[in-house]
Amino acid sequence: MPVLYNVNGTICGADEPIITPASRIYRYGDGFFESMKLANGHVLHFERHYRRIQRSAMLLGMVLDQRLRQDILLDAILETCKAADARHGRTRLSILRDGNGLYAPETAAVCFIIEVQPWQEPLYAEPEPGIQLGDFTELTKNANYLSLVKTTSALLYVMGGLHARRHGFDDCVVYNDYGRVAETVSCNIFKVDGDKIITPPLSEYCLDGVMRSVVMETAKAYGYEVFEQPIGQNDLIASDEIFLTSAVKGIRSVAKYQGKQFRYGVARMLSDLLNKAIPAPQA
């Protein structure tokens, strides 16, 4: 099904130009984005996503104008989904700094692009049989506040994705400047030791993932002990189970890492709970 865009409130197709060579996104990657899951006509966890949008804009020195007020933005996303005839799928909001200037921008104003990619299935995919996880060590995730934001300057993840493809992995662990686990190329990461679930804290410069927070709350409500603490490579290998989380994909279990096979029972249980929490279709 075709991808549809909403550029500053105007619906357009994928074949229509949406940026110019003079734009700051083209020259500097000056912006950030937010990927959200659409299911049964609902944007899942939108309030959490919006809080992260606000934090990202603040950290990058951008001003969200009236068009990007929470209720107005949600209406614009749903309007774009309706134009795309999409009740399930992926929506991506890109917020880009507007105006001229070289490295130092002349304005804090922004423009926005809403992208809708329709899917057929509203549920998160089942986490089994699991993925092959590798390590990406050529580059590390910098220990600064930009690491908490999904910026459009994503070369670290591009290079990590290329590394995974070359070596036959589905995803790869990304490490921080201290040599500890931050996340993977596309997800936050969790390990399971008995009845304990552990994930790196934000102080390890992992992405402040929406699904990360949802899964932590869900696991605690279900009776698991959830800890945020630094994780090394040996800690991952010693785990009973490893799973990854993202707002769009939900939970992905790791079948194999560093030659070790892993189970997926906790990942499957949590994924079932996420699917049961998806709102019913709108009337």
Identify the bridge partners of residue 268 per DSSP, sorted by sequence position: none
Instruction: For 131-276, give the CATH class.
Output: alpha beta
Q: How far apart are the C-alpha atoms of 26 and 16, rounded to whole Å?
A: 16
Please, which pLDDT band fits residue 283 given cuts at 50, 70 and 90? low
CB contact burial 235-255 (16+ within 10 A = b; e otherwise)? ebeebebbbbbbbbbbbbbbb
- Summarize pLDDT for 142-163 with one digit per residue, the tens: 999 999 999 999 999 999 999 9
**Dihedral sign of CA atoms 120, 123, 129, 134 in order:** positive
CATH topology assigned to domain 4-118: D-amino Acid Aminotransferase; Chain A, domain 1 (3.30.470)
- Summarize pLDDT for 187-237 with one digit per residue, the tens: 999 999 999 999 999 999 999 999 999 999 999 999 999 999 999 999 999
Domain ranges in the chain are 4-118, 131-276
Place of tokens 């399930």: 88
Other Cβ atoms within 10 Å of 163 Cβ, number: 18
Q: Supply the pTM of this predicted model.
A: 0.93
- Summarize pLDDT for 168-181 with one digit per residue, the tens: 999 999 999 999 99
Provide the angle, in degrees to the nearest 10, between the axes of the packed helices 265-276 and 210-221.
Answer: 100
**pLDDT, position 248:** 96
